[in-house]
Structures are given as structure tokens and as C-alpha cells.
Homo-oligomer: A and B are copies of this chain.
Amino acid sequence: MDENAILLVHCPDRKGLVARLTGFIFDHGGNIVRLDQYSSPENRFFMRVEWELKGFALDRAALTGALPGLAAELGISYELFFTSERLRMAVLVSRQDHCLFDLLLRRRSGEIDVDIPAVLGNHEDLRDVAAMFGVPFHFFPVGADAAEQERQLLEVLERERIDFVVLARYMRILSPAFVARYPRRIINVHHSFLPAFSGAKPYHQAYARGVKVIGATSHFVTEDLDDGPIIEQETIKISHQDGVEDLTMKGRDLERKVLAQAVQLYVEHRLFVDGRRTIIF
């Protein structure tokens, strides 16, 4: 596969942005393979454009050097990615294995094009799962000093040059300081259709309330528990015959799906955050 460039742009909306940006690409001989654009009711402009570097007049370094000037001229914020540069993802886990298995399997099949250099657990239960796929497992036992643990955790993330962090049913709350180190770069899965049943034991809550639908939600982690921008949600119908155990089992499929989808979107640079909302191209 040939290499593409991906440019993400966000800024206040104004006339001519698409024309100027696509004009820049065209003037240097670039062939656009996909362009998505959205203007919010609050007049924010979002654009993702992907083009082939083959035949493009600027190489990666030249392109990287040329963009700041263009951005200043147009008054835009941007991020630039290359499809040849695979992101590095860390997975934080506790005792449940289904989300971790799912991510490792999708990585294995090539469905999600990402590197997974580290799994970090606050229990040892999933050491074997990581080992099955040859991924190093780091153990940070529950009960130790939380601040000290997060310090060590961050050390691993930095040493492994982690781009983003996935909480695959990680049952511990991260400190605001930790979250601030990876802004919009920590993805969690919550086992309910948020905002319903946030917090602990959502399947128990769902059973008690007698809902006829359960769900799962993947979202960015912010300082506020279960309150970050939502990336993906799935639901499934249930009946009075489903006890808490059935809900837990049926919900697993949803959890896997929304988490995998969120990781996929992140890895392909198709995700913007706009306040409490996400834009997905």
C-alpha cells in the first residue's frame, strides 16, 4: 500500500477553507482519496482530507515544514499524520479478559492496524492472555500507593512511546493528573448506554430498573467519571427472562464492539472532539 498523508483541520468556520486547503494539495500535484467536512451549528469547521504522497511535490519533511505557514495564513488548527506511521497503544486491564482478547485478535488479523507494545494490569489474571500474543505484561498491584503506581504506569507509557491508552474494563479510576497527561488520548468502555447507569455495576442497575434494552459506550476519559465525549454506542434488546448474569454475558459482545470501533476510528484519525461531542468521519 502506498503512503498517504492525512490532514485534520479544525477552526472557526469561514468561507473558502475547503477551496484553499484542497487548492494547496492540488497545486502540489496531490491526488485526494477521501475528503470529509462538517460545519457545526456553533460555526466550528472540521475537515479530514487524505491524499497520496506518490506524485505529490512535497516529501514528508517539506510538507511538515510548509503547513505552519499555511495554517497561520488561514487561521486553522491542524494535525498531520502519515499512514505509514503506525500508532502505539497501551491497554490497561483488571480481571475481565473479553475486551483485551478482542483487541489482540483484531490486531492479529490486521483488522486494526496498531502496535500494542504493553498491557498493564492491576491484577495478574490477564498476564497469560498477553503472553499468548507475545505482548509484555506489566503488573501494578491493587493496594499499593495509588500516586506512586500512576507514576510507574506513566513511566512505562513514556518508555514505550505510547500514543494513546485504552481502558479495557480497567476497574480503577485514573487521577485528573494522569488524565491531563493524555488529553483526548485515553479511551474507556463503559457497560451501559450512557448517560444511563454511570458508575458502578451498571448491569445490576439495569436489571433493577427493568429496562428492555441494554447498551455499551466507548468514550474519551476526562476528569469527570463516565462523562467524557462519547465515541460509539451499541444497544441490544433484552427480556424479563434475562437475569443480571445474562445481561453481563450479552453486554460483553457490545463492549467488545464499541471499544474496537473506537480504537479503529482513533487509529485511522477519523475522530474529532468538539466540546462534549465527537465528530466522526
Contacts of A18 in B (CB 8 A): 18, 22, 26, 32, 35
Contact: B215 with A230, CB < 8 Å?
no
Q: From B209, B212, B232, B241, give the contact of A276 (CB < 8 A).
A: B209
Provided the pairs A39-B33, A235-B215, A235-B235 are in contact, do residues A19 and B15 lie with their beta carbons within 8 angstroms?
no
A196 to B233 CA separation, bound complex (whole angstroms): 14
A208 to B41 CA separation, bound complex (whole angstroms): 12
Contacts of A140 in B (CB 8 A): none
Contacts of A253 in B (CB 8 A): 257
Taking the closest CB of chain B, its distance from the CB of A146, in whole angstroms, is: 29
Contact: B30 with A239, CB < 8 Å?
no
Copies, count: 4
Is A117 positioned at the interface, with any CB of B under 8 Å from its CB? Answer: no
Can you name the residue of chain B whose Cβ is closest to the Cβ of A195?
B196
Provided the pairs A19-B19, A196-B195 are in contact, do residues A239 and B280 lie with their beta carbons within 8 angstroms?
yes
Contacts of A23 in B (CB 8 A): 19, 22-23
A83-101: which residues lie under 8 A (CB-CB) from chain B?
97-98, 101
A30, A197, A239, A240 interface centre (most CB from chain B within 10 Å)? A240
A33 to B236 CA separation, bound complex (whole angstroms): 26
A229 to B197 CA separation, bound complex (whole angstroms): 17
Taking the closest CB of chain B, its distance from the CB of A34, in whole angstroms, is: 8
A97, A211, A231 interface centre (most CB from chain B within 10 Å)? A211
Taking the closest CB of chain B, its distance from the CB of A133, in whole angstroms, is: 9
Contact: A209 with B235, CB < 8 Å?
no
Is A172 positioned at the interface, with any CB of B under 8 Å from its CB? Answer: no
Is A143 positioned at the interface, with any CB of B under 8 Å from its CB? Answer: no
Can you name the residue of chain B whose Cβ is closest to the Cβ of A49?
B18
Is A213 positioned at the interface, with any CB of B under 8 Å from its CB? Answer: yes
Taking the closest CB of chain B, its distance from the CB of A128, in whole angstroms, is: 10
Is A151 positioned at the interface, with any CB of B under 8 Å from its CB? Answer: no
Contact: B208 with A276, CB < 8 Å?
yes
Contact: B229 with A210, CB < 8 Å?
yes
Is A38 positioned at the interface, with any CB of B under 8 Å from its CB? Answer: yes
Can you report 24 residue pairs joining A to B where beta carbons are below 8 Å apart? A15-B29, A15-B30, A15-B31, A18-B26, A19-B19, A19-B25, A19-B26, A22-B23, A32-B37, A38-B240, A40-B240, A101-B101, A101-B105, A111-B249, A111-B252, A193-B215, A193-B235, A194-B209, A195-B209, A208-B276, A210-B276, A210-B277, A240-B279, A240-B280
Q: Known pairs A15-B30, A41-B243. 5 more at Cβ < 8 A?
A: A18-B18, A22-B22, A194-B211, A195-B209, A240-B279
What are the nearest 9 A-B pairs in CB distance? A210-B277, A19-B26, A196-B196, A19-B22, A16-B26, A213-B233, A212-B233, A18-B22, A235-B235
